[in-house]
A and B are shown apart, each in its own frame.
Chain A
Amino acid sequence: MIPRLLLFFAAATGPGIHWVENDYPKALAEASARHVPVFVEMWAPW
């Protein structure tokens, strides 16, 4: 499907939420250690 949106995503780190950037194994390891799920935002720079 053609991407529906032409979003632009700003800088990576927001207050309160620590975002792991482009590193699924790291996020999964962090989640496993804390026994929580992983929330994933998939995006493109266009």
Chain B
Amino acid sequence: MRASVLNDAALVKRAGQFAWLSVDVDDAANAAFVAKAPAEGVPMFLVIDSATGKIALSWYGAATAAQLDAMLDDGAAVIAGKASGADAVLARADRANAEKDFVNAAAYYEQALNLGGAKWRKRPRVLESLIMAQSFAHKNEDCAATALREAPAMARDRSLVNVLYFGLECTKPGTPQRIELLKLAEQAVKTPGVLSDDISQLYGEIAYGYRAEKDEAATSRVATEWVAYLRRERAKAASPDARIGLDLQLASAASVLHKPEIALPEIERDERELPKDYNPPRVAASLLSQMGRLDDAVAACSRALELAYGAAKLRMYGVCGGILSRKGDKDAAKKMYQDGIAFGRTLPEDVAQPVVRSLEAALGKL
């Protein structure tokens, strides 16, 4: 996004209106900030009131430049506290959402939608915020109901794609709601003008959704379309930086198809073009492991470990230990897990503890 959206003219013209901070959540140096603002995932965007240090607005997931532009306005509105009507309720919702009070955030977002009405220009973004708040509050029935109620009437844009993504995440396999949302999502992935990250993640959700339904024919059909979509997008990508995000998703699609070998050439090219990035060897290790080339997978794992840092490096110890264990090299797997646990103890506890526990559990199973 930095290469494209975050340098869009719509944001650049507002350069003086904000201080701009970039935070790598895997960098242990940011542990204090990540503890202050724990992210549901990445990317996450925040607007912080510099007078109080409080988070005024948070947004999880990719966004277009226009959405980020509007987000800056909404964050400033929360801080100013001068909004009225639906906008005032939206500001309360955004504040609650930023404070991780997702139950009240969802209630306020619903109020704001009712006040704003069907033609409120902020309605698509507020629907996205509502369904995310319902999901994060584990209100899965409400979340699914929102998607089923709203998606059929929504404009074919990024908001629809996101609403369907979360709606699918909230529904259980084997339910009529899941089947209905899968059908809507299969139409939505054809939406033009949406960020490839968003379309790709929806493809993934559909493919995994059909797999959970034990419908392998539909899983294969969707994953094949997903691969074709990523290859078309890749052909348009102008740089290695633009290609790698697509290739990492291609590896996921290939794994769904049980054809890891179809993504390996792209990942190997990425590793040559981006020799300081740990992601290509990380993903190569996974693909090679799936292909049964375990010695090559171990070698790729070692390369990834050399390049990774912080929480990402810690996770790599688990990946590499798993491959070594699968290879039958218990001593090397044991050492890998032990090295990982020792490395984890050098990281801030909030960052490391869950992964260290998983490494300890894996060690115990050897």
Which A residues are in CB contact (< 8 Å) with B41? 1-5
Which B residues are in CB contact (< 8 Å) with A27? 19-21
Is A46 touching B18 in the complex (CB atoms < 8 A)?
no
Is A20 touching B245 in the complex (CB atoms < 8 A)?
no
Which A residues are in CB contact (< 8 Å) with B37? 40, 42
A21 CB, nearest partner CB in chain B, Å: 5
Please name the residue on chain B nearest to A38 by beta carbon.
B48
Contact with A along B277-288 (1 / 0, CB 8 A): 111001000000
Q: Of A4, A20, A22, A28, which is in contact with the most chain B CB atoms at under 10 Å from its CB?
A: A4
Is A40 touching B7 in the complex (CB atoms < 8 A)?
no
For chain A, residues 8 to 37, give those with C-beta under 8 angstroms from any C-beta of chain B. 8-12, 14-24, 27-28, 30-32, 34-37
A25 CB, nearest partner CB in chain B, Å: 9
Beyond A37-B48, A41-B2, A43-B24, list 13 extra A-B contacts (CB 8 Å): A5-B43, A7-B43, A8-B279, A17-B7, A28-B53, A31-B48, A36-B17, A36-B19, A37-B79, A40-B46, A41-B21, A41-B44, A46-B279
Is A46 touching B312 in the complex (CB atoms < 8 A)?
yes
Is B21 touching A23 in the complex (CB atoms < 8 A)?
yes
How far does the alpha carbon of A46 sit from the alpha carbon of B41 in the complex, in Å? 11
For chain B, residues 97 to 136, give those with C-beta under 8 angstroms from any C-beta of chain A. 136
A-B contact pairs, 28 of them (CB 8 A): A1-B136, A5-B201, A7-B1, A8-B279, A9-B1, A9-B22, A15-B7, A17-B11, A22-B23, A22-B27, A24-B33, A31-B18, A32-B50, A32-B51, A34-B16, A36-B16, A36-B18, A38-B18, A38-B48, A39-B19, A39-B20, A39-B75, A40-B45, A40-B46, A41-B20, A41-B22, A42-B42, A45-B277
Please name the residue on chain A nearest to B48 by beta carbon.
A38
Is A31 touching B7 in the complex (CB atoms < 8 A)?
no
| SS of A interface (majority) | loop
Please name the residue on chain A nearest to B309 by beta carbon.
A45
B interface list, Cβ under 8 A from A: 1-3, 6-7, 11-13, 15-27, 29-30, 32-34, 36-37, 39-51, 53, 56, 61-62, 72, 75-76, 79, 136, 165, 197, 201, 239, 241, 244-245, 248-249, 252, 277-279, 282, 311-312
Which A residues are in CB contact (< 8 Å) with B12? 14-17
B31 CB, nearest partner CB in chain A, Å: 11
Is B50 touching A17 in the complex (CB atoms < 8 A)?
no
Which B residues are in CB contact (< 8 Å) with A15? 7, 12
Which B residues are in CB contact (< 8 Å) with A24? 21, 23, 30, 32-33, 36
Please name the residue on chain A nearest to B39 by beta carbon.
A42
The 4 closest A-B pairs by CB, nearest first: A31-B50, A16-B12, A31-B19, A27-B21
A31 CB, nearest partner CB in chain B, Å: 4
Please name the residue on chain B nearest to A30 by beta carbon.
B19
B51 CB, nearest partner CB in chain A, Å: 7
Which A residues are in CB contact (< 8 Å) with B56? 37
**Known contacts A6-B252, A37-B76, A39-B72: A12-B22 contact under CB 8 Å:** yes
Which B residues are in CB contact (< 8 Å) with A16? 7, 12-13, 15
Q: Of B13, B33, B37, which is in contact with the most chain A CB atoms at under 10 Å from its CB?
A: B33
Which A residues are in CB contact (< 8 Å) with B23? 22, 24, 40-43
How far does the alpha carbon of A27 sit from the alpha carbon of B33 in the complex, in Å? 12
Is B18 touching A37 in the complex (CB atoms < 8 A)?
yes
Is B50 touching A37 in the complex (CB atoms < 8 A)?
yes
Please name the residue on chain B nearest to A23 by beta carbon.
B21
How far does the alpha carbon of A9 sit from the alpha carbon of B37 in the complex, in Å? 20
